[in-house]
Amino acid sequence: ETGVTQSPTHLIKTRGQQVTLRCSSQSGHNTVSWYQQALGQGPQFIFQYYREEENGRGNFPPRFSGLQFPNYSSELNVNALELDDSALYLCASSPLGQGFSGANVLTFGAGSRLTVL
Amino acid sequence: RKEVEQDPGPFNVPEGATVAFNCTYSNSASQSFFWYRQDCRKEPKLLMSVYSSGNEDGRFTAQLNRASQYISLLIRDSKLSDSATYLCVVNKGIGANNLFFGTGTRLTVIP
Q: Which residue of B has its CA nearest to A110?
A: B43
pLDDT of amino acid A66 = 97
pLDDT exceeds 60 at position A98: no
Phi, psi of B74 (to 5 degrees): -115, 130
Residues 6+ apart with CB under 8 A from B98: A101, B91, B92
**Quick one: pLDDT at residue A1?**
54
Whether pLDDT at A26 is above 70: yes
* Other Cβ atoms closer than 10 A to B43: 22
Nearest CA to B105 out of B15, B2, B22, B17 is that of B22
Full DSSP string of B61-74: EEEEETTTTEEEEE
Mean predicted confidence (pLDDT) in B40-52: 91
**How far is Cα A30 from Cα A52, in angstroms, rounded to an integer?**
9
Are A108 and B102 inside 8 Å of each other by CB? Answer: no
Letter string b/e over residues B56-94, b meaning 16 or more CB atoms within 10 A of that residue's CB = eeeebbbbbeeeeebbbbebeebeeebbbbbbbbbbbee
Q: Which residue of A has its CA nearest to B48?
A: A104
User: Does position A105 have pLDDT exceeding 80, yes or no?
Assistant: no
Q: Which of A44, A90, A103 sits opposite B34 (nearest CB)?
A: A103
Question: For all residues of chain B together, what is the average pLDDT?
Answer: 92
Mean pLDDT over A1-24 rounds to 94
Is the pLDDT reported for residue B80 higher than 60?
Answer: yes
Residue A9 scores a pLDDT above 60: yes
Mean pLDDT of B44-73: 94
Q: In degrees rounded to 5, what are phi and psi of residue B87? A: -100, 130
